[in-house]
Structure 1
Amino acid sequence: MRLFLFLFLGLILGPSFLEIGFPKIANQAASICSHLFLLTAGMELSFKKMGQQLLPAAKLSIGAFVFPFLAGLIAAMVILRDTPLAGPETYIFVALALAISALPVAIQILKDLKLYHSDLGRLIIATATLCDILAWVFFALILPAESMKSWFATHLSLVFFFLGLALSDSPFPSEKFRERLELLNTWIFGPVFFISIGWKLNLWQNLDWSQVAVVFILASVSKYGGSYWTARQLGFSKQRSALIGLTLNSRGAVEIIISNLALQQGLISEKIFATLVILAIATSLIPGPASKLLKLRNE
């Protein structure tokens, strides 16, 4: 959530408000910070930490990932069919954007509810982790590349992410180094990266509220509904299934990061990017208060 404040700061500095030109000298710094931010993000995911929850998480991801992915794919083919960027890669990316879950948001919600170390909490974390990994794998496959050199250029950010993922369960680097890297990620890599994203975006010029409303409703209904239905099939109570649906419906910084990469590679327009930014923020702000109300109502 803190990263959204830096995104807002960038929006204020950029064409959305003050119209201060983005300094060209900062482009390289923002690029380096984005790579290191993704390296750290990859290191936070872990197959090992899923443990015994991997199989039930895979089952739950049918509702948490597959349902919103299919809903997003169908919607993209209808909404974007007459746009210049209409094509299979764009449709698939929009579907991925609806299927993502924000792991940091899920962790914070579970900690606030004192469920982080419970079996339910571990299942939700494992499912959110699996959804994110699936999204990054599919994204890597749809990025365009005409040669090995261009493949490396277009996939460089993903190389850093998957390098971090490979290191997540490794004894290297040391715990002390990881803590320092996380500190740098919190105060330098993340802020610089998100400020640069907001600074380059003309929100008002590219904001289509009708598109935002359609995408938000579709994303929330398919993600929450799919997660809730699958959880019920797995034997969870209505209350726990609702909590699973609310928590996994958040998309957070992960969606903004992957959408920014898609924008840079020409997979989506700035209009779609603006819609996905609003979706990421809105779906991250709602689950926390809603989950607390759900718990109070059922106590």
Structure 2
Amino acid sequence: MSRLDNSHLILLFFQVALFMMISISAGALARKLGQPKVIGELIGGVVVGSLIAQANVSSSYDMLHSLAKLTPEINGLLQIGMLLFMFIAGLEVNMEHVSRKLRPAVYSSLFGMLLPFALGLAAVFLLPMMKGANVHVDDWTYGSFIGIALSISALPVILKILMDLNLIHTEEGTVILSSATISDLICWTVFSCLISSLGVGGSLVGLLVIVLKYVGFPALLLFIGSGKLSFRRTAQKGPAKRSKQLFETIILIILLISGIAEWLGIHPFFAVFILGVAMRKRLEGTATQSVIQRFSIDFFAPLYFISVGFKVNFFQHFNLLLCVIVIAIACIGKIAGAGIGARIGGMSAKSSAAVGMGMNARGAVEIIIATVALELKVIDEAMFVAIVLMAIFTSIIAGVSLKWLLGADGADKRAMPLSEPKRSKNASFETHPAIEEL
């Protein structure tokens, strides 16, 4: 192995070790303060990454500066990890939620997307500071990206908050989960279409091809994941061999689908997310689901979210006014939009407000969208910093505001009198313990 390759390998080992140290310490501190572990990882990455970038040390400490740069090697590792994470996020999308409170869920989801999207789009045209000088896309494309970034919710974080507050079985919890499910599906689809449209300009044929790809390919994934692929051969073997072969098969499918999606011009994160949605019933309660969840959430997800703080120098690119504007638009748009939608759907004023507060959590999903947009140079570093801080802020206040409105005590008294559906090992309103650690 050459000296250069050797130094890259050493750097990779030290970077992963540094990220894990941040994950353990910052994650533990966040849990002690009653916040999701991912919040501690994000803040820890921002602080450590920016401090290393700011450090004015002699050239003999080049390794310290190298730790603050994300090499192609660690970027490749992070990409693989996030494919697994997005697959797990797809597995958490339970369409049974939607059917239980369909009317308020649909209205709160649609209004909760449309209002922040409209406000974000309008802000781009009305406030020149919303678009940096280094952004090289037209105002409509840029405004659409900002609108989507402000519209999406974070299903894993919302699940964790509702579980912590014992609100899963309440009317409010049901509507929040249903709305977040619809929102995630729509926003990821639109976001991925926008990414693909960057290379076709205003060509009608090009746009038509994109639409066909984003209809046909997900339909194929739903067909594959819904049970048309059979694992009967593995089922004839013992439990250990069956679990091992199923795990290997799922990893193989994830990698193949990602490669095909990239080749077709579809973002792999979106493709794998849809694959997870399609395969939920196939994997629910299996050891394979547990292994993938543990592997992605305990190892890969912390690496990715900590790396966010190393992508840009947060101290250097922090713009207070821009951050305040982005956070204000995101909170007002989502809380008011989702709340109004729930109210139109027939919920009480207090419950509608709770739906708006719960839907306001952005968290991990927001970070992924912001990172993809930054890598494509659709947004600049200042907007990236503002969106990341907005994701952290909204995730923190979502739990606090829900607890203030509804309280963790007495949640069982408000539980919906639902007839129990047929359940597998994982109840329809439960999530795997690994997700709880987010």
Do both share a fold (TM > 0.5)?
A: yes
The answer on whether the counterparts of 1:64 and 1:227 sit within 8 Å (CA) in structure 2 is: yes
SS in 1 for 2:340: helix
1:110-259 map, 5 Å: 110-143=162-195, 144-145=198-199, 152=264, 155-168=267-280, 170-172=281-283, 175-259=286-370
SS in 2 for 1:267: coil
Q: Deviations over 1:172-207 (max 9, x none)?
A: 476210011111122112011112222222101211
Q: Structure 1 residue 85 and structure 2 residue 136: aligned?
A: yes
CA distance 1:149–1:218, shift in 2 (3 Å) = closer
The percentage of counterpart residues that share the same residue type is: 31
For these two proteins, the number of residue pairs brought into alignment is 296
- Distance in 2 separating the partners of 1:173 and 1:121: 21
Structure number with greater CO (CA < 8 Å, separation at least 6) is 1
SS in 1 for 2:406: helix
Match of 1:56 in 2: 104
Structure 1 window deviating more from structure 2 (181-190 vs 2-11): it is: 2-11
- Distance in 2 separating the partners of 1:2 and 1:295: 23
Q: Structure 1 residue 6 and structure 2 residue 32: aligned?
A: no
Point out where structure 1 has 5 or more consecutive residues left out of the alignment.
Answer: none
The answer on whether the counterparts of 2:335 and 2:360 sit within 8 Å (CA) in structure 1 is: yes
- Distance in 1 separating the partners of 2:400 and 2:332: 18
Match of 1:41 in 2: 89
The answer on whether the counterparts of 2:104 and 2:342 sit within 8 Å (CA) in structure 1 is: no
The answer on whether the counterparts of 1:145 and 1:154 sit within 8 Å (CA) in structure 2 is: no
TM-score by length of 2: 0.62
- Distance in 2 separating the partners of 1:229 and 1:173: 34
CA distance 1:85–1:272, shift in 2 (3 Å) = farther
- Distance in 2 separating the partners of 1:5 and 1:268: 25
The answer on whether the counterparts of 2:154 and 2:364 sit within 8 Å (CA) in structure 1 is: yes
Please give the root-mean-square deviation of Cα atoms over the aligned residues, in Å. 2.5
Q: Deviations over 1:221-250 (max 9, x none)?
A: 121112222222223222211111111111
CA distance 1:187–1:238, shift in 2 (3 Å) = same
Q: Deviations over 1:7-61 (max 9, x none)?
A: 23333442x1123323523222112112222122122113244333344311222
The answer on whether the counterparts of 1:224 and 1:246 sit within 8 Å (CA) in structure 2 is: yes
Match of 1:95 in 2: 147
TM-score by length of 1: 0.89
Letter paired with 1:155? H
Letter paired with 2:78? A
